[in-house]
Structure 1
Amino acid sequence: CFPNCLDPSILGDIMAGGASKVKEAGAVLVGGHSVQDDDPKYGLCVSGFVETDKILRNYGAKPGDVLILTKQIGSGIINTAIKAEMCSEEAEQEACDVMKSLNKKAKEAMEGLCVHACTDITGFGLLGHGIEMAQASQVFVDLYVKKVPVITDALSYAEMGLVPAGSYNNREYTGHLVDRAQVADVYYDLLYDPQSSGGLLFSIPQEQADLAMQRLKEAELDTKTAIIGEVRELGAGEEKRIALID
């Protein structure tokens, strides 16, 4: 969708950028359509075939695993700050770099390791998708809040109230499953921040953690990676699925 009040060269740049990412992903662009609209919008629909022996599922995390996140979070907050014209150039650039980075390199770096579970962090935020993994795996997660990589200034903007509506919706949906006694509200907002083009969350055995981090470093990702949590057994009758550790 594209408004006729904008220079067509902008549309050309959008299309060129999209085509570049399609090529980087190893796919081909086979068609599309354009619609005049007041707000520019661009998106892709992907179809293909999956090699069944290479599927990474969002369940199967085991007690003793560590959780590795491959991108910093905060893009929803940064985008809200941009719309409010309150975002620093540094934060805007970092958010753009994160969002335009594919997960392909991170996924390839983990090949050959024992990945028990994997999910991408998108609209439900880190907590929402982490809860989804914990529930499906019937485990409990300790999430170390200060180890989670964050886009520059995202925490400050969250303190100012520049939080997207999706964050509050996410909290309402799964907040009852989080033990957040140790952390301030601002971190809660950040961890529930809906991500655009978020990273991957891997659950792997503790003994492979160092090798995994070394491989991710050698992959020269354009994003920050970190070990952010641990998986443990779910206690009998325990209703919570994630504890936030300061």
Structure 2
Amino acid sequence: MTEPRPRLTDLAHGGGCGCKLSPAVLREILARTPAAGGFANLMVGTESSDDAAVWRLNDSQALIATTDFFMPVVDDPFEFGRIAATNALSDVYAMGGTPILALAIVGMPIGKIAIEDVQAILAGGASVCAAAGIPIAGGHSIDSAEPIYGLVALGLVHPGRVKRNVGARPGDVLILTKPLGVGVYSAALKQQRLDAEGYAAMIASTTKLNTVGRELSARDDVHALTDVTGFGLLGHGLEVCRGSGVGAEVRFGDVPLLPGVAALAQAGVRTGASGRNWESYGAGVRLPEGFATWKQDLLTDPQTSGGLLIAAAPDTAGEVLALVHAAGFETAAVIGRTIEGEGVTVLT
């Protein structure tokens, strides 16, 4: 009798961007890492917790380089590959760039996972790269204790159009392009509490390429840009604030949520990463009195292949939002603004 194949999520202790080291642990690890100084063509390095490195090639081209990989967030191997690839390419789009090629990062527990499942993971990643118009031109694989998949992603951008997570100005309007709740969905999936509607919404959100970043790169009124991933909305919002020397106000009631996520969160579905995120940066956040824990969990919820967070000039923010809507991000919304000061203040 053939043994049933194990669920992909049962082969890993975590999943998706919830696998990331917490911000506090990452800061401690990197504290003694020397800065990459002395390279005149290095436009973006490790100095600002940005989404990717950028290297100036010439007066009209800069190379964007990034890598991202994680353990399964879903059990379907093809969808896992799609999600991981979409997430990896997001960092190129978040810098305002256009991907040109990718390399695969593959770690699989050979003997525990079927070869057919590994093939399906790779096929899923390749399908996303094909949709982005780029090849997977190589990669590297190892026999690992848990399944891991992702990409090294390379892209191009004009040096004058690089978008960063620094540069926001007081009074900028904050726009979020995708709804929150992927981490809650993934936790519900592992607990077998995610219904068909929620699963479909999860796949649709996590496999939607953030291609609108290329269009945003041409706009001088977009002062800062980042994607919201493992550190949650508050964590990546704080990175924008600290890098830009501003504070921010976020209105929870205006933050878009994936269908059914609020009910799941109120029922206690959460990831361990949301708690680690809050422990890492909660001191930089001001919450309203009596703010519900489940709402806090959603603001720190790790987003696998999340949306873009945009800081746009207030007089043209409506145009920016319309551009995002026209690009297919129908639930994108204004969620707050930047202010004089520091940290993030959450409003109801």
Taking structure 1 as the reference length, the TM-score comes to 0.89
Give the alignment partner of residue 220 of structure 1, picking from 280, 303, 328.
Answer: 328
1:14 offset after TM fit, Å? 2.3
Greater RCO between the two (CA within 8 Å, min separation 6)? 1
Unpaired segments of 5 or more residues in structure 2? 1-107
1:69 offset after TM fit, Å? 0.6
Distance between the aligned counterparts of 2:196 and 2:261, measured in 1?
A: 13
Give the alignment partner of residue 128 of structure 2, picking from 17, 21, 30.
Answer: 21
Give the alignment partner of residue 87 of structure 1, picking from 164, 172, 194.
Answer: 194
Question: Which SS does the other structure have where 2:204 is aligned?
Answer: helix
1:107 offset after TM fit, Å? 4.0
Question: Which SS does the other structure have where 1:31 is aligned?
Answer: strand
1:49 offset after TM fit, Å? 4.8
Question: Which SS does the other structure have where 2:302 is aligned?
Answer: coil
Match of 1:245?
Answer: 347
Match of 1:72?
Answer: 179
Give the alignment partner of residue 203 of structure 1, picking from 303, 311, 333.
Answer: 311
Paired letter, 1:243: T
Distance between the aligned counterparts of 1:107 and 1:144, measured in 2?
A: 27
Q: Which moved more, 1:31-40 or 1:123-132?
A: 31-40
1:175 offset after TM fit, Å? 0.4
Match of 1:46?
Answer: 153
**Contact 2:325/2:331, CA 8 A, preserved across alignment:** no
Give the alignment partner of residue 223 of structure 2, picking from 92, 102, 116.
Answer: 116
Q: Which moved more, 1:50-59 or 1:106-115?
A: 106-115
Give the alignment partner of residue 165 of structure 2, picking from 58, 62, 80.
Answer: 58
Distance between the aligned counterparts of 1:108 and 1:9, measured in 2?
A: 38
Residue 190 (structure 1) aligned with residue 298 (structure 2): yes
1:130 offset after TM fit, Å? 0.4
Residue 135 (structure 1) aligned with residue 242 (structure 2): yes
Q: What whole-Å deviation, never above 9, does each CA across 1:39-67 have from its counterpart, x for those lacking one?
A: 54321122355532221111111111100
Paired letter, 2:315: E
Aligned length: 240
Q: What whole-Å deviation, never above 9, does each CA across 1:18-45 have from its counterpart, x for those lacking one?
A: 1121123343211134445565432112
Q: Which moved more, 1:71-80 or 1:29-38?
A: 29-38
**Contact 1:3/1:39, CA 8 A, preserved across alignment:** no
1:225 offset after TM fit, Å? 0.6
Paired letter, 1:19: A
**Contact 2:184/2:301, CA 8 A, preserved across alignment:** yes
Match of 2:93?
Answer: none
Question: Which SS does the other structure have where 1:195 is aligned?
Answer: coil
Match of 1:237?
Answer: none
Q: Which moved more, 1:49-58 or 1:207-216?
A: 49-58
1:228 offset after TM fit, Å? 0.4
Distance between the aligned counterparts of 1:116 and 1:149, measured in 2?
A: 22
Structure with the larger strand share: 2
Distance between the aligned counterparts of 1:11 and 1:227, measured in 2?
A: 40
Percent pairwise identity: 35
